[in-house]
């Protein structure tokens, strides 16, 4: 993770450098769907963000990667309210802890499932093998 001290920004790295020979894992947009494919917690940005992050963790584990292997993150929130974006970001930062992955937080007009407010797009890496 690379941080540029002269830049003012939120709690995230400005860039990540992936080592030569690493495998790149491109996850599909991770949603807060339950086992039946239903969006959980309609209307609750924080709960949907938590559920999407839990689903992301499951995909990472299946790929042989961990949270610390995430090299970039895009968080999409269906809202035009800055407070909703901030709420989603707070949940993401809590989940990632000390791993200050470079991220983009973006408000969008609509997402793919009825009642869906959050989608997370991670890029991770792992050592070949």
Convert the pLDDT of each residue in 74-103 to its tens digit.
999 999 999 999 999 999 999 999 999 999
pLDDT of residue 104: 94
pLDDT of residue 10: 65
- Is the pLDDT confidence value at 9 over 80? no
pLDDT of residue 54: 96
Beta carbons of 63 and 126 less than 8 angstroms apart: yes
- Is the pLDDT confidence value at 11 over 80? no
How is residue 114 written in tokens?
A: 């009825």
d(Cα 109, Cα 91) in Å, to the nearest integer? 21
Angle at the Cα of 124 (from 6 to 14), degrees rounded to 5? 5
pLDDT of residue 45: 98
Label residue 16 by pLDDT band (50, 70, 90): confident
d(Cα 55, Cα 30) in Å, to the nearest integer? 7
**Over the chain, what is the mean pLDDT?**
92
CATH code that applies to domain 23-126: 3.30.1330.40
Q: Which of 42, 56, 39, 44 is nearest to 103 (CA)?
A: 56
């Amino acid at each position: 993770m690379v941080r540029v001290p002269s830049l003012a920004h939120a709690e995230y790295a400005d860039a990540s450098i992936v080592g030569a020979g690493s495998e790149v894992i491109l996850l599909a947009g991770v949603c807060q769907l339950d086992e039946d494919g239903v969006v959980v917690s309609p209307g609750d940005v924080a709960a949907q963000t938590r559920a999407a992050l839990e689903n992301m963790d499951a995909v990472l584990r299946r790929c042989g990667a961990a949270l610390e292997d995430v090299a970039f993150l895009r968080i999409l929130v269906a809202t035009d309210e800055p407070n909703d974006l901030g709420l989603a970001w707070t949940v993401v930062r809590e989940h990632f802890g000390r791993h200050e992955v470079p991220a983009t937080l973006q408000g969008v007009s609509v997402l793919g499932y009825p009642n869906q407010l959050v989608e997370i797009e991670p890029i991770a890496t792992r050592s070949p093998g």
